[in-house]
């Protein structure tokens, strides 16, 4: 069996694998797609000590760093089931291809995915004006006009954040009212360069072939169609953790995030978690890596306390 089996090959999983392997213990990584969300990212400007990089470049560096160690990387493999430790103390992971792996400790780092609007043009202009992360991409729209889609806490926080950087923000909410906390709504409405549209449904993203130029929205009250000229669209309608396969095993929050403590421990002994799939706040590369390192050190602490076999 593995000493540490990491499920997920994004920044959190890569950091976990490196920290575990550096302890000289048997380490494996199962990844549906090594690199994770970073593969879908263009400019990265907040990875501290690196002024600018690109997703695929950072993934290549992650992969090469992992390969400096004797890590068994099982790429293009999807975990389908977690089997909590029985009397032998080993945690099992069943892969979609039927194989069953066992390990003394498991680190879950399966990440998350942004919910998309599913309107024409959205995928075509992803990373060309359609963005999902205001902390990451906000500064790219300095002095420009943007829309934020979604009036929950994350949408309103994004609109407040962006209003300090861009020229103008239009917040677009599908429902008849915003769902964000009242204090955030008050703050939002005090900002002079923000408009709020409610009962508004985004229907299409327009562009010139290279980048976003406008969006169409429908007034859900009277059905009228409108067009808004802008350069950026931040979609803030939810980040969905990749934890469907874990239901009924580790404790999940109501949003489906794996509940972890400050050490990355989950509700199951020997099972740790890190990165965007957990309740750890602020979903960022550097945070996922820090969480991954922490989970690996916690797994190692757990291992050295196990009775010798
Ligand atoms: P992920 O990167 O999501 O990796 C999850 C891994 O788990 C993948 O390898 C995936 O294939 C695998 N996996 C999922 N399910 C299974 C399964 N059942 N079995 C096996 N493997 C599985 N952050 C920044 O800090 N700066 C930025 O500029 C930035 N820009 C971004 C731009 C975009 C377009 C997006 C989408 C995100 C951006 N982020 C940015 C956020 C950042 O990418 C994430 O916070 C980070 O990748 C999270 O790392 P992770 O390892 O937790 O998860």
Identify which of 140, 126, 136, 103 has the alpha carbon closest to the alpha carbon of residue 299. 103
**Cβ of 282: how many Cβ atoms within 10 Å?**
9
255 plus 107 within the same structural domain: yes
Where are the strands (E) in 164-207, listed by range?
A: 168-172, 194-197, 200-207
Determine, yes or no, domain membership for 185: yes
- 266 in a known ligand binding site: yes
- 120 in a known ligand binding site: no
Handedness of CA 171, 279, 115, 233 (dihedral sign): positive
101 plus 206 within the same structural domain: no
Q: What pLDDT, on a 0 to 100 scale, did the predictor assign at position 234?
A: 98
Cite the DSSP H helix spans in the chain.
Answer: 11-21, 55-67, 134-137, 153-163, 182-189, 285-303
Identify which of 146, 258, 163 has the alpha carbon closest to the alpha carbon of residue 211. 146
45 plus 146 within the same structural domain: no
Decide which of 235, 257, 280 is a domain's last residue: 235
| Residues near ligand 1 (Cβ within 6 A) | 7-13, 30-34, 36-38, 40-41, 44, 46, 78-79, 109-112, 114, 132-133, 136, 242, 245, 275-276, 283-286, 288
The CA 283 to ligand 1 mean position distance, Å, reads: 9
Residues 107-153 have pLDDT tens digits of 999 999 999 999 999 999 999 999 999 999 999 999 999 999 999 99
- 59 in a known ligand binding site: no
Q: What pLDDT, on a 0 to 100 scale, did the predictor assign at position 123?
A: 96
Decide which of 185, 219, 235 is a domain's last residue: 235
- 153 in a known ligand binding site: yes
Distance between CA atoms of 196 and 160, rounded to whole angstroms?
Answer: 12
CA distances 74 to 97, 182, 199, 233, 246, Å, are 12, 47, 46, 36, 19
Averaged pLDDT, 7-24: 98
The CA 77 to ligand 1 mean position distance, Å, reads: 16
Tokens 């420009």, residue located: 144
Domain containing 260 equals: 2-113+239-303
The yes-or-no verdict on residue 309 having pLDDT over 80 is no
Name the domain count of the chain: 2
The yes-or-no verdict on residue 159 having pLDDT over 80 is yes
The CA 12 to ligand 1 mean position distance, Å, reads: 8
DSSP 96-112: TTS-EEEEEEEEE---E
Query: What tokens were used for 30?
Result: 């199962």
Q: Which of 129, 245, 285 is the best mutation target for the ligand 1 pocket, counting ligand atoms within 8 Å of the beta carbon and taking the most?
A: 285
The CA 38 to ligand 1 mean position distance, Å, reads: 6
Residues 254-298 have pLDDT tens digits of 999 999 999 999 999 999 999 999 999 999 999 999 999 999 999
Determine, yes or no, domain membership for 308: no
* Sheet strands side by side (includes 145-149): 130-131, 232-235, 145-149, 168-172, 194-197
225 plus 137 within the same structural domain: yes
Q: What pLDDT, on a 0 to 100 scale, did the predictor assign at position 144?
A: 98
168 plus 82 within the same structural domain: no
The CA 37 to ligand 1 mean position distance, Å, reads: 3
Distance between CA atoms of 118 and 165, rounded to whole angstroms?
Answer: 27
The yes-or-no verdict on residue 308 having pLDDT over 90 is no
Residues of the chain above pLDDT 70, percent: 100
216 plus 105 within the same structural domain: no
CATH at residue 168? 3.50.50.60
Q: What is the mean pLDDT of the chain?
A: 97
């Amino acid at each position: 069996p593995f000493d540490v089996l990491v499920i997920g090959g994004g920044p959190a999983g890569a950091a976990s694998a490196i920290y575990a392997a550096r302890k000289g213990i048997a380490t494996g990584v199962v990844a549906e797609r090594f690199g994770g969300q970073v593969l879908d990212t263009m400019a990265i400007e907040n990875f501290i000590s690196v002024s600018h990089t690109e997703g695929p470049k950072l993934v290549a560096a992650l992969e090469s760093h992992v390969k400096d160690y004797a890590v068994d990387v099982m790429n293009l493999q999807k975990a389908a089931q977690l089997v909590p430790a029985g009397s032998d103390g080993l945690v099992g992971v069943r892969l979609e291809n039927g194989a069953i792996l066992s390990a003394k400790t498991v680190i879950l780092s399966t990440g998350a995915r942004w919910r998309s609007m599913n309107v024409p043009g959205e995928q075509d202009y992803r990373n060309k004006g359609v963005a999902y992360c205001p902390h990451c991409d906000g500064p790219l729209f300095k002095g420009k006009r943007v829309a934020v889609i979604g009036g929950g806490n994350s949408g309103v926080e994004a609109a407040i954040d962006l209003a300090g950087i861009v020229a103008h923000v239009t917040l677009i909410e599908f429902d008849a009212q915003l769902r964000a906390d009242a204090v955030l709504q008050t703050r939002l409405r005090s900002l002079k360069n923000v408009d709020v549209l409610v009962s508004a449904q985004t229907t299409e993203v327009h562009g010139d072939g290279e980048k976003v130029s406008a969006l169409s929205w429908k007034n859900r009250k009277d059905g009228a169609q409108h067009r808004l000229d802008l350069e950026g669209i931040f979609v803030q309608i939810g980040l969905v953790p990749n934890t469907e396969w874990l239901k009924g095993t580790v404790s999940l929050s109501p949003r489906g995030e794996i509940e972890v403590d400050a050490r990355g421990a989950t509700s199951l002994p020997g099972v740790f978690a890190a990165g965007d799939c957990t309740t750890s706040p602020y979903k960022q590369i550097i945070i996922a890596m820090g969480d991954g390192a922490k989970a690996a050190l916690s797994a190692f602490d757990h291992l050295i306390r196990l009775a010798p076999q």
